[in-house]
Amino acid sequence: MKPNMTDTELQGQSAASGYRGPLVELRQVSKSFPDPKPLTILRGVDLAIGAGETVAVVGSSGSGKTTLLHLLGALDRPSAGQVLYRGEDLFSRPADRLAQFRNRQIGFIFQFHHLLPEFSARENIMLPGFIAGREKPEVEQRAAELLAQIGLTDRAEHRVGELSGGEQQRVAIARALIMEPDLLLADEPTGNLDPQTGEAIFELLCRLNTSLGLAMVMVTHNYQLAARLDRVLRLGDGTLREIAPDQLAQLASIAP
Ligand SMILES: Nc1ncnc2c1ncn2[C@@H]1O[C@H](COP(=O)(O)OP(=O)(O)O)[C@@H](O)[C@H]1O
Ligand SMILES: [Mg+2]
């Protein structure tokens, strides 16, 4: 986790441009869906996330949490406002650079892992590396390291359907990390797992955050897990508000 602001600034400063601001930023972002019925999901949301920072997003079902992650990861565009990455407006980039950004800078862990069922754990993990045009030996080595890190070396050749829910989620995490992103976006990564497996996945994410220094935004319904991240934000009525530490302690003391 992010120990202090100085750390964030140092990491920002180390970027080639000498940029010192947030890693990713939403500025007055609104999102509406016109079909099948006009809906406004986000209303002028501001959010800044520093390098290495961990943020939990909570909110009721349908409040727009997945939509928010999609905007942060440039999987969707805002209806109004800006998404900035290291201070640069993402959607002013040409489409090919945007695709490259998603592939290289963002690790996305989907709510329902979206692994390819006909491929093995190892092949699923390697795929973003091949999409990026990396050399096969390099991708294979990185996949082997990640398999070891997630404790699945002995399941590498299993197909997705031959893995447990927790194992599938670990593969999805490794796939999200193969390109060594700066930002990991995790959509209810423990939501479909039993509490013990969920805890193990959460701990794995926290370890990766610390060892790789990557920023993390995690959507969760579990306040006990959320409270262990740097900040907890609640999405509701189209706006994002930070939950104060005392209120969070109270919420986390109630069983999830
Ligand atoms: N592509 C879309 N077109 C129309 N409506 C959508 C689309 N994606 C999401 N929505 C609607 O936006 C709302 C928020 O969705 P979502 O971000 O998935 O919520 P959450 O993840 O908080 O449950 C929901 O009411 C959903 O039906
Ligand atoms: Mg969702």
Dist CA 168 CA 115 (whole Å)? 8
**DSSP code for 243:** P
CA 67 to centroid of ligand 1, rounded, Å: 6
The pLDDT, as a whole number, for residue 13 is: 43
Burial of 202 (0-12, 13-18, 19+ CB in 10 A): buried
pTM recorded for the entire structure = 0.89
Atom of ligand 1 nearest to the CA of 187: 21
Domains of the chain: 5-112+180-253 (3.40.50.300)
User: What percentage of the chain exceeds 70 in pLDDT?
Assistant: 93
Mean pLDDT by 10 residues, the chain (256 residues): 44 60 96 92 97 96 96 94 94 87 90 89 96 94 93 95 92 92 93 86 90 94 94 97 92 77
According to DSSP, the β-strands at 183-187 and 106-109 are parallel
The pLDDT, as a whole number, for residue 69 is: 97
| Strands ordered across the beta sheet of 24-33 | 39-49, 24-33, 80-85, 88-89
Burial of 82 (0-12, 13-18, 19+ CB in 10 A): middle
Query: If you count DSSP H runs as helices and E runs as strands, how many of each does the chain have, helices first?
Result: 9, 10
CA 64 to centroid of ligand 2, rounded, Å: 7
* Alpha carbon nearest to ligand 1 atom 3, residue: 33
Q: 115 near 124, Cβ under 8 Å? A: yes
The pLDDT, as a whole number, for residue 17 is: 66
User: What percentage of the chain exceeds 90 in pLDDT?
Assistant: 68
